[in-house]
């Protein structure tokens, strides 16, 4: 086992932290959007840099992508990618309560992405006595090459990463999107320290 690998107890603890954060974030989002928000049980996997988009996103060229960095205490950091199907784009204004000509599509999708990212990660951070800061969200070209190039510019070591994928479903608007959290190897080692501290309390 490398320093990066999570033990079974560590992965179970991380999964539970994410599940709790999802439940609270779903409730907060439902209140904000005034509709029911359903979040599927997330997938958590260790991936290499050339496997970041192998599972579930073979058609990345057909997806709009918004990227936003997050940074917490104790070296916890990473990149959040919000991925949207083009057929959902026309539902954004209705979902956010905007008039059709109030904001451009780019502004709408960046606005929604920031809400989805920060709501979940703020709740997650509160569970581990942490606090997140965020870079400005960026709409990036929706193809695998451009997303990979964007990630290489984030000054992270992406040789190995922990990939957490969460699917949002807003049932009243038939709207779906995926949030993919990519946490680089050195940040996972720091998260393990936090998880071990939590496990010691039980």
CA distances from 98 to 59, 103, 111, 117 (A): 29, 7, 11, 20
Contact call for residues 69 and 79 (beta carbons, < 8 A): yes
CA nearest neighbour of 140 among 191, 194, 82: 82
Q: pLDDT tens across 56-100, in order?
A: 444 455 567 899 999 999 889 999 998 887 666 667 767 777 776
* Tens digits of residue pLDDT in 130-163: 999 999 998 886 666 667 677 767 666 677 888 8
Statement: residue 166 has pLDDT above 80: yes
Q: Structural domain boundaries of the chain? A: 8-200
pLDDT value, residue 103: 75
**pLDDT value, residue 53:** 62
pLDDT in tens, 29-55: 888 888 888 888 788 888 887 776 654
Cα–Cα nearest to 72, from 163, 115, 153, 133: 133
3-state secondary structure 37-75: EEECCCEEEEEEHHHCCCCCCCCHHHCEEEEEEEECHHH
How much is the pTM?
A: 0.85
Model pLDDT for residues 82-92, shown as the tens digit of each residue: 888 766 666 77
The string of pLDDT tens digits covering residues 175-202 is 788 888 999 888 888 899 999 999 988 7
Q: Report the pLDDT value the prediction gives residue 172, as an integer from 0 to 100.
A: 74
What CATH number matches the domain at 8-200, 3.30.420.40, 2.60.40.10, 3.40.1550.10, 3.40.630.10? 3.40.1550.10
Looking at residue 37, what is its pLDDT?
A: 84
Average pLDDT (19-29) is: 86
What whole-number distance in Å separates Cα of residue 202 and Cα of residue 200? 5
Query: What is the model's pLDDT at position 142?
Result: 60
């Amino acid at each position: 086992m490398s320093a990066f690998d999570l033990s079974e107890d560590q992965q179970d603890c991380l999964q539970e932290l994410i599940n709790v954060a999802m439940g609270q974030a779903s409730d907060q989002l439902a209140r904000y959007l005034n509709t029911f928000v359903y979040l599927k049980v997330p997938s958590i996997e260790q991936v290499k840099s050339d496997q970041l988009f192998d599972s579930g996103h073979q058609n990345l060229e057909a997806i709009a992508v918004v990227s936003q960095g997050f940074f917490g205490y104790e070296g916890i950091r990473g990149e959040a990618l919000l991925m949207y199907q083009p057929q959902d784009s026309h539902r954004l204004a209705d979902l956010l309560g905007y008039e059709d000509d109030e904001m451009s599509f780019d502004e709408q999708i960046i606005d929604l992405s920031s809400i989805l990212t920060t709501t979940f990660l703020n709740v997650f951070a509160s569970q581990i006595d942490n606090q997140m800061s965020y870079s400005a969200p960026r709409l990036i070209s929706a193809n695998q090459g451009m997303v990979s190039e964007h990630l290489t510019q984030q000054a992270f070591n992406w040789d190995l990463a922990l990939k957490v994928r969460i699917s949002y479903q807003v049932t009243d608007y038939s709207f779906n999107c995926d949030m993919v959290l990519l946490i680089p190897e050195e940040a996972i080692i720091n998260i393990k320290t936090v998880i071990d501290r939590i496990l010691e309390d039980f």
